[in-house]
A and B are shown apart, each in its own frame.
Chain A
């Protein structure tokens, strides 16, 4: 098993190096963590920044300004709804309209990390962080 894990890590490192070559300076600034590929059934990114960049940013965009097509992904930047951490946790674990329940593939710690990250970045400045225990309670 040990050697297998090492191989996976080497592969991930190779991959990251390969994509970084082609990534512009601007994109690096917007995306604080390099692309990441989890190898299990849950997200393996650690910390709010990495989780945001590799999961949330897919739809809400690296700058959290959202996107508009036939309908839209709302901006998380300067979003007043983020005042409610409960709302955010419910969206993360249960999904809401176009948003799938991606929090089900995160641990309680990861969910709390990414919620705290979004609520303290992109022009949001809420000083009531949630804990893993809060996430666990909401998940039920």
Chain B
């Protein structure tokens, strides 16, 4: 986000410090230990060898963690049953499509009126190429993927406080920022300011690299010309026939870019989690949950609200309400339990586990987040502004506008992600608004970037995660301190119960974390079952 928090020594600042003082390898090491940047350790389908002799497992929650556990334990010979609160599988893996109704806590019901084929992914919406486990399940279960465009050079970076509030093209900010830095560095190099740091041989290579990388001219200047236009584009693109000669544009000065803070937006494209290639399922992220559920035709009991989990030396008993029958209380028994409920829910259930595990369950607050989807009569971002997919970032409270990574150039309608907040005051303030107010909010601010909004808007939906009845929050939010104190306790097998979900991973808030957590949990559980 453009408005990065300025904590005294935030994790990000700490990482920057480590990176600056100790180099890339140390930084990577530190990022890995803090739960960032680690490549998924997934190395292919799990093999649970040995006969569980008909052992039974009850699994709570039919999100990706619960369904991964059910699917793999079932393949290994366990008898599995999943209890799911919702009337559908997937959990946060979810797409809202035309015809869907969604009732949030507080009772407001939205009827999604999107056209056929259009959707909003209220939860996860993009898959990094290094989330190997999720990609493997998509392959095994026949979920068709397509590229998700994270970086579109022609999308915008926008600040209400810079350039008179006029959105700037990412390619221009990126090229001019890097070109400006390259020119500055080349100047310092040629003046001998870096002689102590750079050898005579490296100096020439450095200058050559700066010229090539930064779009500098023969005199190491970054200015309007063919070299800079190669990167930033043209004031008038080259054409055909008479009068077709391109016109090079005047770069934005380094001072203006620095003080605009638009360079902050470029970070959204640099991080390991957001590098190309990213993917999305064709037809919405919810296709993955639907595909998992197809593999578990008789295993999921829907509309079952768990209210208590009790274990003893013989097994686990889960009390639950059958929501389709007015909350009639029933019990389900099994030898073991994989609990893939969010901690916001689990922390409120009667549960007999060790004190350290209970403390861990109670210790993880959930991030606040809101997403707002807006359907427009025409794809004006493509037709008028030539933005095909990607994301514009802004310091307005909507934070970003994401353009659909499908259906390009079709001339029809489209659904934009019109706001996506993550924590901070605005997430809570938006959660306090009604869905209609949220949509009005997204339209009001979004029109500062795309003035076509008022004329083209048709219908929208808003999902505030703290109002989502099945989770009461967005994703587990660990700190270094809470991880240090509680994470291992959370992940232990406690008697006959083991937890799974993104909250039990070092890839929090990502689907890969949920799946890897489930695979690790059932591998350890299986060992224990065989040993019993």
A interface residues with partner B (beta carbon < 8 Å): 4, 7-8, 11, 14-15, 18-19, 22-23, 27, 35-44, 53-59, 61, 67-73, 95-102, 105
Neighbour of B472 across the interface among A8, A23, A73, CB < 8 A:
A73
B349 within 8 A of A: yes
Residues A55 and B428 in contact in the complex (CB < 8 Å), given A71-B472, A100-B473: yes
Residues A100 and B348 in contact in the complex (CB < 8 Å), given A67-B105, A70-B85: no
B366 within 8 A of A: yes
B466 touches A58 (CB 8 A): yes
18 A-B residue pairs with CB within 8 Å? A7-B165, A15-B441, A19-B437, A22-B440, A35-B429, A35-B433, A35-B441, A43-B425, A44-B425, A58-B428, A67-B105, A67-B467, A70-B472, A73-B105, A96-B362, A98-B344, A100-B366, A105-B424
B178 within 8 A of A: no
B105 touches A38 (CB 8 A): no
B491 within 8 A of A: no
B347 touches A98 (CB 8 A): yes
A102 touches B469 (CB 8 A): no
- A100: nearest residue on chain B (CB-CB)? B365
| Residues 416-470 (chain B) with a chain A CB within 8 angstroms | 424-426, 428-434, 436-437, 440-441, 444-445, 464, 466-470
Chain A residues with CB under 8 A of B190: none
Bound: A41/B161 CA distance, A: 16
Chain B residues with CB under 8 A of A97: 343-344, 347-348, 362
Chain B residues with CB under 8 A of A105: 424-425, 428
Neighbour of A100 across the interface among B345, B368, B469, CB < 8 A:
B368
B467 touches A59 (CB 8 A): yes
Chain B residues with CB under 8 A of A37: 397, 426, 429-430, 441
A4 touches B161 (CB 8 A): yes
Neighbour of B348 across the interface among A53, A54, A55, A71, CB < 8 A:
A71
| Interface bits B471-493 vs A (CB < 8 Å: 1, else 0) | 11100010000000000000000
CB of B90, distance to nearest CB on chain A (Å) = 14
Chain B residues with CB under 8 A of A41: 3, 5-6, 424-425
Residues A72 and B464 in contact in the complex (CB < 8 Å), given A35-B437, A43-B425: no
CB of B118, distance to nearest CB on chain A (Å) = 24
B344 touches A71 (CB 8 A): yes
How many of chain B's residues have a CB under 8 angstroms from any CB in A?
Answer: 50
A55 touches B432 (CB 8 A): yes
Bound: A55/B466 CA distance, A: 11
Bound: A101/B473 CA distance, A: 13
CB of A28, distance to nearest CB on chain B (Å) = 12
A69 touches B428 (CB 8 A): no
- Known contacts A22-B437, A43-B428, A61-B106; 8 additional CB pairs below 8 A are A19-B433, A54-B432, A55-B432, A61-B105, A67-B105, A69-B470, A69-B472, A71-B349
Bound: A35/B161 CA distance, A: 23
Chain B residues with CB under 8 A of A95: 365
Bound: A96/B473 CA distance, A: 13
Question: Which of B347, B426, B469, B472 has the largest count of A CB atoms less than 10 A from its CB?
Answer: B472
Chain B residues with CB under 8 A of A101: 365
B425 touches A58 (CB 8 A): no
CB of B267, distance to nearest CB on chain A (Å) = 17
Bound: A4/B470 CA distance, A: 41
Bound: A101/B481 CA distance, A: 15
- A21: nearest residue on chain B (CB-CB)? B440
Chain A residues with CB under 8 A of B441: 15, 19, 35, 37
Chain B residues with CB under 8 A of A98: 344-345, 347-348, 365-366, 472-473
- A15: nearest residue on chain B (CB-CB)? B444
Question: Which of A14, A19, A99 has the largest count of B CB atoms less than 10 A from its CB?
Answer: A19
